Amino acid sequence: MKEFSTRVILSLTTGFMLSDLLSDFDKVHELAEWVAGHPIWTHELANKNLLDALREKLFAQHPSLRDFKAAGGEVWAADVKNLEREFGLTLSIAKGAEEREESPIESLDRKKTM
């Protein structure tokens, strides 16, 4: 188990960067790799199937997060603060043990032909 910021977790589950700093992208990337259980190259983060699988793994660990929908602007800021009050600033996340379906080079080559 490892602690991750609630905002970082919500950034991965919603697809919206819910942090005050864009530099937190590296933390979202770290979370994605932790949940998957293997390295993820940046271009792979655009893979909808991968993102859906990561989201489902996070929702399995924290089902209440499934109900949060990022609306943008001030609305999400208030919602995030409420969730942080409810769940805390961080949540424990279990490390995944998933095997890769294809190498990152294969997925990059496939992306080039799309």
Summarised one tens digit per residue, pLDDT across range 46-73 is 889 999 999 999 999 999 888 877 666 6
pTM given for the model: 0.85
Q: Which residues of the chain have pLDDT under 50?
A: none
d(CA 46, CA 54): 12
pLDDT of amino acid 18: 79
Of the candidates 64, 47, 7, the one whose C-alpha atom is nearest the C-alpha of residue 31 is 7
Rounded Cα distance, 31 and 3, in Å: 10
Distance CA 90, CA 2 (A): 10
